[in-house]
Amino acid sequence: MLDPHTGLGASHRELSAVLETAPDLREGPQLDTILELLAQRRTMDLSDLPPADQAQLVSARTQALLPSVGHLDELLTSAKDRQLIVKFGIDPTAADVHVGHAVPMILASRFQRMGHRVVFIVGDITAKIGDPTGRVADRPPLTDDDIRANMQSYRDQVTPFFDFEHADFRFNSEWLAPFTLPQFIGVLEGLPLSISLQREDFRNRLETGSGLSMAELVYSVVMALDSVEINADIELGGLDQLLNMQMCRRVMENRGQTPEVILATRLIEGTDGSGAKMSKSKGNYVGLAFEPKDVFGKLMSAADRLLPGYLAALTELLDPEINLLRDMMQDKRIHPMGVKTLLASDVTGAIHGRVPAEASRARFAAQFSRKRFSDTPDLPVINVEEHSDATVAELLVNITALVPSVGQVRRIAKGGGLRLVVETDADQQDSVVLSADEVKATVIVLTNTYAPLTDQPQARRFVKCGRALFELR
């Protein structure tokens, strides 16, 4: 139980009381109060927490902690008179950072608010090798231009989770580029080859003949030099980085340093609920560079069963509060859509700010919850006369760019997700499901075909394709 005299303890008491009396979290003053409390927690000073509570606050969000929670507790206790160095690194192998990467960054923010120094390392050298973890074949090498392009927006994307006035943002080329071959040989001499060959992913690639380069074999050793350079006390990363981080401990020890404490966070599932981890390649991710409405909408589309895990990984809610929300959903005291609205509002607010998050929530409510498309702000509007010869697919893909391809429009139509919707001032809404063949129908043909529907007095006409929506005027 948190000490109620600490800032976090008082916040927990207040938030729990609001949750107990919240009739619905889809809108209303209770939701606003909870979101305000969570926003305050993102910047709350945590240095007043006892070391044991600090250790619990971060260890509760880890899947693996080495050597032990007790060791972390001792480290935090001994650090009352000094700043710990907390390392988090990411290789710029792609341009986007998604919320799955944010899980350890949120923990890093907590360490920062406990008074410790976070060092965010962009691996512009390690990106040239490419992390081999979990891969079935070697990845195509990145050029310097590729890496430079990917790095351009990294700092902006992760800034919502850090106060860079009290954290370091560094590139590992600072110390790896001048590192000499004799120095590197000296590091390798202290490491038996069996360490790398014990890795199951490496053995599988060798057995299947998929290839394993020498560069990949020493990737974790090169990554370990980052820990040596900053003399890290703690390293944060996803669970898939556990073996790499264990190598960091080994190399630090060989270099005469105290091995860092490792905190490996759970890999969160993608929004599609398929069980696959969140990744850009599967399209089941929420990018930190997404527009506010897209962050909100993507989280609102997540499977209900993912809610407890997402709340734990992506918000500042504490375990007792998450358990209370889960119990309230199970007892049908609160609708899952309300909990999902809380999640989407908080994460969107953390990335983009409160005002864009509120606008995204209003837009979503107008478009999906109340089913009143006429209330949706900032909808794309298509002039019927100007685009009378354009097909439905062309409007969605080329003109509004709401859907990435004609093939996707056709797939949505086959699933019954393509509709022509008409709303009147009398709050009446009528719709017709468009077939896959009508994807190729022009605007003029479409409006003429359904003239009894579209020619109603004071009617406003909309085309909805999955979550995409625009107005015909």
Two structure tokens written together for 320: 């007792």
Report yes or no: 19 and 328 within 8 Å, Cβ to Cβ.
yes
Query: CB within 8 A of 187, min separation 6: which ones?
Result: 221, 224, 225, 251, 254, 255
**Angle, to 10 degrees, between the axis of helix 7-21 and the axis of helix 29-41?**
160
Q: How far apart are CA 314 and CA 350, in angstroms?
A: 9
More confident residue, 273 or 443: 443
Backbone φ and ψ for 92, nearest 5 degrees, come out as: -80, 65
The CATH code of the domain that includes 141 is 3.40.50.620
Indicate if the pLDDT at residue 97 is higher than 70.
yes
Q: Is residue 375 part of a domain?
A: no
Whether 93 and 219 map to the same domain: the answer is yes
Q: How far apart are alpha carbons 399 and 6 in whole angstroms?
A: 54
Phi first, then psi: what are they for 321, rounded to 5°? Answer: -75, -40
Q: Are residues 90 and 137 in the same domain?
A: yes
Instruction: Identify whether residues 197 and 274 lie together within a single domain.
Output: no
In sequence order, what DSSP letters do the residues of 264-331 get, joined into one string? EEPPPBPTT-SSPBP-TTTT---BTTS-HHHHHHHHHTS-GGGHHHHHHHHS---HHHHHHHHHHHHT
| 51 assigned to some structural domain | no
What confidence score (pLDDT) does residue 265 get? 93
Query: Concatenated DSSP letters for 25-91?
Result: SSSSHHHHHHHHHHHHHTT---TTS-HHHHHHHHHTT-SEEES-HHHHHHHHHHGGGSPPEEEEEE-
C-alpha dihedral, 295 to 301 to 302 to 305, nearest 10°: 140
Instruction: Tell whether 325 and 451 lie within a shared domain.
Output: no
**pLDDT in the model for residue 205:** 67
Which of the listed residues 347, 370, 393 is the one where a domain comes to its end?
Answer: 370
Over residues 86-99, mean pLDDT: 83
Determine the Cα–Cα distance for residues 14 and 11; give it in Å rounded to an integer. Answer: 5
* Domain co-membership, 250 together with 140: yes
pLDDT digits (tens, 9 = 90+) for 47-61: 999 999 999 999 999
Residues 74 and 183 placed together within one structural domain of the fold = yes
User: What CATH number is attached to the domain comprising 330?
Assistant: 1.10.240.10
**CA 259 – CA 251 distance, rounded (Å):** 8
For the segment 320-332, the average pLDDT, to the nearest whole number, is 90
Is residue 438 included in any domain, yes or no? Answer: yes
For residue 387, pLDDT over 70 is answered with yes
Question: What Å distances lie between residue 207 and 130, 203, 377, CA to CA?
Answer: 21, 6, 57
87 within domain boundaries: yes
User: Are 131 and 2 found together in one domain?
Assistant: no
- Mark whether 218 and 362 lie in a shared domain: no
- pLDDT above 90 as % of the chain: 40
How many independent structural domains does the chain possess?
3
Q: What is the domain range of residue 109?
A: 62-265
Is residue 440 located within the same domain as residue 306?
no
Say if residue 279's pLDDT is above 90. Answer: no
- Rounded CA-CA distance 362/454 in Å is 26
Q: CA-based angle 314:34:376, to the nearest 5?
A: 85
Q: Is the pLDDT of residue 136 over 50?
A: no
List own/partner pairs for 213-220 with CB under 8 A and 24 or more apart: 213/138, 215/129, 216/129, 216/130, 216/132, 216/138, 218/129, 218/188, 219/126, 219/129, 219/130, 219/131, 219/132, 219/244, 220/196, 220/244, 220/247, 220/248
Q: Report whether pLDDT(317) > 90.
A: yes
Burial, 385: exposed, middle or buried (Cβ in 10 Å; 0-12, 13-18, 19+)?
exposed
How many angstroms separate the CA atoms of 387 and 369, rounded?
30
Please write down the HEC assignment for all residues of 356-415: HHHHHHHHHHHHHHCCCHHHCCCCCEECCCCCCCCEHHHHHHHHCCCCCCHHHHHHHHHC
Q: Given 334, 350, 370, which residue is the final one in a domain?
A: 370
Out of 236-240, 447-451, 462-466, least confident range: 447-451
pLDDT higher for 206 or 443?
443
Report the SS3 class of residue 165: helix
Same domain, 164 and 238: yes
Residue 14: is its pLDDT beyond 50?
A: yes
**Domain presence at residue 335:** yes
Over residues 124-131, mean pLDDT: 81
Whether 205 contacts 137, CB under 8 Å: yes
Q: What is the pTM of this model?
A: 0.75
pLDDT average, residue stretch 154-165: 76
Do residue 299 and residue 387 come from a single domain? no
Q: Quick check: is 258 in a domain? A: yes
Find tokens 């998050």 and name the residue: 357
